[in-house]
Amino acid sequence: MRRTSILLLSILCVFLGASRHYYQSAVQSTQPVNGDWAVVQFPADPDGLNPITSVNGYGRTVEYGVNYSLVYETLLQYDIQNNWRFGKPLLAEAYPEISPDHLSYTFKIRAGVKWHDGKSFTADDVVFSAKATVCPGVDDASARNFFTDMLNAEVLPGSKVRFTFSKPYFLNDVQLGTLYIVPKHIFDADGLLDNLTLKDLIGAKGQADPNVKKFAEQFNKHPNNRQPIGTGPFKFEKWDTGKEIRLVRNSDYWAKKPYLDRVIFRTIQDQTAALTALKAGEVDLVPILTPVQYTQQTSGPQFDNQLAKAKYSNLTYFYIGWNEEKPLFKDKRVRQALTMLVPRQQIIDTLRFGLARIGVTHFTPDSPDFDPNLKALPYDPKRAGQLLDEAGWKDTNGDGIRDKDGVPFRFEFLAASSNAFADQLLPVLKEEFRKAGIDMTEKRVEFTLQVNMLKDHNFDAFSGAWSSPFNTDPYQIWYSGSAKDRGSNFISYNNPEVDKILERARMEFDPMKRKPLYWRLQEILHDEQPYTFLFYPQNTAAYSKRFQNISWLPVTPGYDLTSWFVPKALQKYKDSPRP
């Protein structure tokens, strides 16, 4: 028994060893060439590959990559060279013509674009996609959410599409520019929606028409929800559930073709297994490493020989929210003091291994609206103590806990039981607050229960994170009205000036004029500290060195596979790998 296992072991070692030094003599080449595959690790399968009905981020990555163009494409995309300004034409010929009242948007549809099955892409596909998005019975809660003010979408002569809205809104160009476009001839082959306009669909006619119901049922479970047919630079090849999703280069792509022959998204759930698979050459990119993996497990000559690692920012911030409905946190001096009691730099250095930037405000440093003049409040327990004294919180009965009017400064910190970061954060906070005479206890609940408690404002303090695209509207988080009806203003923040700024900003169509409004917003938030902005985390990745022309971008997923290439001498895959 023992002998055979050792034999087996050594055979396997030889067998694996053979393939391990294929690019010892790395040829540095800057001339992009076609060929090779990229194997990207995914921690889970997507929930589907129809952008309208799928919601999870892995699906979005396969569908759209980093800039709305991978298997599917949208009308407009980011202009990365131009400071990430949104509005570079993609499936539209140009940025839309917008009526002076900002209620109608007319796009000219690009000619000569073909779906992956060879059929031409037309204006009908665009209108159909808008119709499918708002169609009653289609299971796309999060997609339709963006078009609740859309009145109609219609094809005009000359390959044009006009969208009309009931209200002006500064992000309507972004919502339309990123409308999920799917092929009409696949998803509505029988033309069930042909006789209905978008206006009909959202009205009484849409509720009553049996064809609408039939279409919605078909659409929700359409086989092509798992076999996308798009217009993008990569074509879908196959999806083995729980194993891999395979894309192949679209050699008929209408714009600049990608270099890689294939892209494979391989499902490896476990973080340790993912990094091990990378080191063993089974995958080429692990897009998100844990801080420990980045700082301690990705170095040494063996690693550096074949692999490289990278840091990249994303538009996310972590924060602590103080519920302003609670008398404890009503006074801004108390909130300022609490922020000054949180040793944020120490938390970044020890808990995140330095992989984050200290939090200042609602916008992240990569955002064009970020106000660089604001400086994070320092860690200053002494000043915090003074502020608490000023606010009337003094330890009058000598029990070590501050009190005011007979009420001790005592609160519960809410966190999801699955929140591993809170496991580390809460003990630090508890200790710092205890030293300042504040008694904090933990309350851990299941994630979905936590969401309900937040929406019901049924908590004292909690820790969360917000992630948003470049073009974002802070309205839902800070507007006083968003606290009602279970919105995202969990902490019931209420400041009339902020409300006015938010209302004005969403009707301001010039980004340069919006900026001063958002700077004023950030000034107020900085002064009032409704959140303790903890930090802006940085993501870390490790990848095979054979790839060239890699850049790391601040939007999800951070990497752009359409620009990657491998010099001829280093190419690893031609056909399927041999046993």
Partner 1 sequence: MSGYFIKRLLLMIPTLIGISLISFFIIQLAPGDPATLKMGNATSGMQNQAMVEQIIKETRAIYGLDQPLYIQYWRWVKRIATLDFGESLVDHRPIIDKLKERVPVSVRLSFIALVFAYLIAIPMGIYSATHQYSVGDKISTVVLFALYSLPNFWVATMAIVFLGGGDFWSVFPVAGLSSFGAEQWSAFDQFKDQVWHLILPITCLTYYSMATLSRYMRSSMLEVIRQDFIRTARAKGLSEHIVIYRHALRNSLIPIVTLMADLLPALIGGSVVVETIFSIPGMGQLSWESVLNRDYPLIMAIFTLSAMLTLFGILLSDFLHTLVDPRISYDNSAS
Query: Which residues within the stretch 288-327 sit at the binding site for partner 1 (CB under 8 A)?
Result: 297, 300, 302
- Give the CA-trace dihedral at 205, 211, 216, 217, to 10 degrees: 140
For partner 1, which stretch binds (CB under 8 A), given 98-106, 221-229, 365-373, 530-538?
A: 221-229
Candidates 22, 23, 95, 146: give the one binding partner 1 (CB under 8 A): 146
Minimum distance from residue 301 beta carbon to partner 1 (Å): 11
Minimum distance from residue 446 beta carbon to partner 1 (Å): 7
Of residues 488-527, those binding partner 1 (CB under 8 A) = 488, 506
Minimum distance from residue 94 beta carbon to partner 1 (Å): 24
Of residues 439-458, those binding partner 1 (CB under 8 A) = 446-449, 451-452
Shorter beta-carbon distance to partner 1: residue 216 or 348 = 216
Minimum distance from residue 529 beta carbon to partner 1 (Å): 20
- 144 lies in the binding site for partner 1 (CB under 8 A): yes
Of residues 107-136, those binding partner 1 (CB under 8 A) = 136
Pairing of strands 439-445, 410-416: parallel
Q: Please give the backbone phi and psi of residue 150, each rounded to the nearest 5 degrees, phi first.
A: -80, 135
Distance CA 300, CA 312 (A): 21
**How many helices and strands in the chain, by DSSP H and E?**
20, 20
443, β-bridge pairs: 414
Distance CA 52, CA 56 (A): 11
Distance CA 528, CA 403 (A): 22
The amino acid at residue 248 is V
End-to-end CA distance of the chain: 26
- 89 lies in the binding site for partner 1 (CB under 8 A): no
Put the strands of the sheet holding 104-108 in their side by side order.
Answer: 97-98, 104-108, 160-165, 150-156
Q: Please give the backbone phi and psi of residue 49, each rounded to the nearest 5 degrees, phi first.
A: -125, 25
Distance CA 551, CA 67 (A): 13
Shorter beta-carbon distance to partner 1: residue 282 or 389 = 282
Candidates 32, 99, 113, 139: give the one binding partner 1 (CB under 8 A): 139
Contacts of 209 by beta carbon, 8 Å cutoff, 6+ apart: 196, 200
Candidates 226, 332, 444, 457: give the one binding partner 1 (CB under 8 A): 226
- 268 lies in the binding site for partner 1 (CB under 8 A): yes
Distance CA 10, CA 542 (A): 29
For partner 1, which stretch binds (CB under 8 A), given 121-129, 253-261, 315-323, 476-484?
A: 476-484
- 485 lies in the binding site for partner 1 (CB under 8 A): yes
The pair of three-digit structure tokens given for residue 59, joined into one six-digit string: 């699906």
Candidates 280, 407, 420, 569: give the one binding partner 1 (CB under 8 A): 280
Shorter beta-carbon distance to partner 1: residue 172 or 463 = 172
Distance CA 483, CA 497 (A): 16
Candidates 3, 4, 9, 31: give the one binding partner 1 (CB under 8 A): 9
Shorter beta-carbon distance to partner 1: residue 36 or 124 = 36
- Binding string, residues 11-50; x marks residues near partner 1 by CB under 8 A: -xx--xx--x------------------x-----x-xx--
Residues 126/179, Cβ–Cβ less than 8 Å: yes
| Count of residues touching partner 1 (by CB under 8 A) | 83
**Three-state SS string across 55-80, please?**
CCHHHHHHHHCCCCECCCECCEEEEC
Shorter beta-carbon distance to partner 1: residue 255 or 273 = 273
Candidates 171, 351, 360, 501: give the one binding partner 1 (CB under 8 A): 171
Cα within 13 Å of Cα(202), Cβ side: 17
Candidates 7, 26, 94, 148: give the one binding partner 1 (CB under 8 A): 148
Which residue, among 432, 428, 458, has the nearest Cα to 443 in the 3D structure?
458
Q: Which helix (H) or strand (E) holds 465?
A: strand 461-467
Q: Which helix (H) or strand (E) holds 18?
A: none
- 83 lies in the binding site for partner 1 (CB under 8 A): no
Of residues 43-72, those binding partner 1 (CB under 8 A) = 45, 47-48, 53-55
Shorter beta-carbon distance to partner 1: residue 16 or 255 = 16
Minimum distance from residue 368 beta carbon to partner 1 (Å): 16
